[in-house]
Amino acid sequence: MMNEESVFFSRVLTELTLSFHIIYATIGVGVPLMIMIAQWVGIKKNDEHYILLARRWARGFVITVAVGVVTGTAIGMQLSLLWPNFMELAGNIIALPLFMETFAFFFEAIFLGIYLYTWDRFENQKKHLLLLIPVAIGASFSAVFITIVNAFMNAPQGFDVLNGELVNISPLLAMFNPAMPTKVAHVVVTAYMTSAFVLAAIAAFRLLKGSNHIYHKKALFLTMKVGLIFSIATAIIGDFSGKYLAEYQPEKLAAAEWHFETEENAPLILYGILDDGEVKYAIEIPFALSILAHFNPTAEVIGLDQFPEDETPPLYIHYLFDTMVTIGMFMVALSGLYWLGKKLKWTFVDSKWYRLLIVLGGPASILAIEAGWWLAEVGRQPWILRGIMRVEDAATSSTHVDLMLILFAGLYLVLGVGSIVVLTRMFRKNPVEQEIEDRHAEKGGDIL
């Protein structure tokens, strides 16, 4: 297998691993916060349904954490196996955030174990709730530290290059690079948003399937409300991300927006197709790209004409950007209408078709996360370390990457199918109605 094939299979395997891991990682970051909110609301309102909600989500969360650990370990291993030249060059710098990410995960795992095994050990439920704080912090900081590694690849700093080697290394300066604030904020907030909408989709699905239990209605209202807050936050941080790209990675913004010529009063192009360099059938929003890039409708936006062709990212990232933004806007509208409808007692938000849209919103949010991640990674091409090392120079020359790809694909298939089977069986054999009855019998009193 030639080096070109090694690079190709290394890229495919890395993309496959990241695409699979990001689903479990997103849920792993967002769900602890949702559990914490549900339990807090339950204690505050003295409402057993919210307490039960936290309890059931926590059980399912453990399964996703287990799969996330396996895929996260695979990523760490693949960094060294598939990209040895990159790790040799940048390993000294990114070792610190990688270590911190592992520490954050252990911090989360220890307190998660204590939290799960002490459900009925506390007279005061507030003390049990306190155990969730380090779980949520650990989960979020896992995302923070691993995103810092990615931010460094987009905006490398904190070192000097001398004869192809990195010298004068400052890991802290490298960690706090210009890409870090927007990237970290975007990843963490979208994880919260996506987790809320995935849990909302499950509640809406149960209601669609005929269960009219108040438990599912409360679950749906809580998750849609939280989803609305974080989807609005995502849109605001997305705007800051656009401004970061205009300043530090203009070639990525230009490729994502099909902005070929440097010009003022730049319009934003949505959808469309490219025909011999001509954009056709697109929706054009006047001045919107100038506003996104510089908060000024007449500002000049750098186009692809300013960059050599071999440093231009693939133009198909335009569709990834469109997918991410379209789903994001759809979820803001869907959750906003639901919340408003509940406030103003509009009946359509409880209709079957609206609940079906909420069910579809769960997988759509996951798709938006995937599109955003692919946009971040592919938009950096041809660089693995922007401006310093190209992808083809970083890859392994091993002839066995194609076999690794097949083996890892098999592993992810088993993990994906296995986790779905375990989760569905776990909740099918222990329905809400039965659990409420059991707890009712245990307590010998009424459950609110």
Domain spans of the chain, in order of start: 1-179+391-448, 184-248+250-379
How far are the Cα atoms of 32, 348, 433 from residue 206, in angstroms, in the given order?
22, 18, 12
* 3-class DSSP state of 387: coil
Whether the Cβ atoms of residue 21 and residue 71 lie closer than 8 Å to each other: yes
Q: At what angle do helices 214-248 and 317-343 cross, to 10 degrees?
A: 140
pLDDT tens for residues 293-332? 777 777 777 877 778 887 788 888 888 988 898 898 898 9
Sign of CA dihedral 246, 249, 253, 258: positive
**359 Cβ partners below 8 Å, 6+ apart?**
201, 204, 205, 208
11-40 confidence digits (pLDDT tens): 888 888 888 888 888 888 888 888 888 888
pLDDT at 251: 84
Identify the residue whose tokens are 């469109």. 322
Q: Name the average pLDDT for the chain.
A: 82
User: In residues, how long is the chain?
Assistant: 448
pLDDT(155) > 50: yes
pLDDT value, residue 446: 46
User: Which of 128, 196, 188, 198 shows the shortest CA–CA distance to 423?
Assistant: 198
Cα–Cα distance measured from residue 367 to residue 201, given in angstroms and rounded to the nearest whole number: 14
Predicted local distance difference test score (pLDDT) of residue 189? 92
- What whole-number percentage of the chain has pLDDT above 90? 4
Higher pLDDT, 299 or 252: 252
